Amino acid sequence: MKKNKLRLSFPEDEKLHSWLSLLLNAYAIMDEGVKKDIDKYKKKGKKLACYRGCSFCCKTHRDIPVYPIEIVGIYWYVIEKVKEPLRTKIKASLISHKKGEPCPFLIDEVCSIYPMRPLACRQFNVFNKSCNPGEDPFYTRPEDVLKPSEHYLGKALYETTPFYNVYDEEEKVDFINSGRLNSLVRVLQNYPWIELARRMDNLRL
Ligand code: SF4
Ligand code: SF4
């Protein structure tokens, strides 16, 4: 993969977990693509409305797709990287989280797993004005929602295919285009995160 300034790096962890390099590559591809897409909108006079601490979208959306490698990434990040006092807050949120409730990783109005937030979260950007509480701009003003290039999502997913034991170049494309990879997707808000809360005390990956 060519050098991407947006790629996060955890050299010691990546030596231990080969899947982590795949996931970080995928996120860097997506972040670069989203940045380019946002720049195109800006050139047309649209102003990005998203900012740190603006989080109504994290509460409104209840069906954020998350790929298996992303779930592993979240497990790794929370268990290995998150320090106190955030750690205790995340654990409490995971324990109390019920299926279908808003994302449990939103803590104090900020994404507590920001470096490992799913592809879908990375893609969701809104222009012109911030969302109102409960507003889903997909429905209220779709023209203000970034339509990310499919190209970068495809490239990002392609990067992760060895995690699913798919190595052959042609098979990688088929694995994505046939829907086999999508059939493995879970909904972030429905996932049983209680298991992660248990592991935070007991195990290291
Ligand atoms: S999508 Fe809407 S709620 Fe979410 S950060 Fe952007 S403006 Fe704020
Ligand atoms: S993972 Fe982060 S960005 Fe995505 S919905 Fe949850 S809190 Fe929001």
Structural domains in the chain (count): 1
Residue 110 belongs to a domain: yes
Structure tokens at 190: 């429905």
- φ/ψ (deg, to 5) at 149: -65, 130
Residue 6 lies in a domain: no
- Span from the CA of 80 to the centroid of ligand 1 (angstroms): 28
Q: Which two tokens stand for residue 16?
A: 């231990």
- Nearest ligand 1 atom to the CA of 124 is 1
For ligand 1, what atom is nearest to the CA of residue 131? 2
* 3-state DSSP assignment of residue 111: strand
Q: How much of the chain, in percent, has pLDDT values that exceed 70?
A: 97
Instruction: Provide the pLDDT confidence category of residue 2 given band limits of 50, 70 and 90.
Output: low
In the prediction, which pLDDT does 204 show?
A: 46
Mean pLDDT, rounded, of the chain: 95
Residue 95 lies in a domain: yes
Q: Are 58 and 103 in contact (CB under 8 A)?
A: yes
Q: Which domain holds residue 95?
A: 13-202
Torsions phi, psi for 126 (to 5 deg): -125, 145
Is residue 5 assigned to a domain? no
* Shortest-distance Cα residue to atom 5 of ligand 2: 58
Q: Which of 52, 59, 103, 126 to mutate to test the pocket of ligand 1 (most atoms within 8 A of CB)?
A: 126
User: What is the CA 62 to chain-centroid distance, rounded?
Assistant: 14
User: 20 in a domain, yes or no?
Assistant: yes
What's the average model confidence in pLDDT over 167-187? 97
pLDDT tens-digit map of 63-117: 999 999 999 999 999 999 999 999 999 999 999 999 989 999 999 999 999 999 9
Helix (H) / strand (E) containing 189:
none
In a domain, 4, yes or no: no
Distance (Å, rounded) from C-alpha 122 to C-alpha 137? 16
111 lines ligand 2 (CB under 6 A): yes
Instruction: Give a yes or no: residue 7 inside a domain.
Output: no
Q: How far is the CA of 51 from the centre of ligand 2 (A)?
A: 13
What are the phi and psi torsion angles at 145 (to 5°)?
-95, 130
| Minimum CA distance residue for ligand 2 atom 2 | 111
Q: Does the pLDDT value for residue 30 go beyond 90?
A: yes
- Report which protein residue has its CA nearest ligand 1's atom 4: 57
pLDDT score at 5: 86
- What is the Cα gyration radius of the chain? 17
What DSSP designation does 185 have? Answer: -
Q: Is residue 2 part of a domain?
A: no
Confidence of residue 1 (pLDDT cuts 50, 70, 90): low
Question: How many other CB atoms are there within 10 angstroms of residue 128's CB atom?
Answer: 14
Is 107 a pocket residue for ligand 2 (Cβ < 6 Å)? no
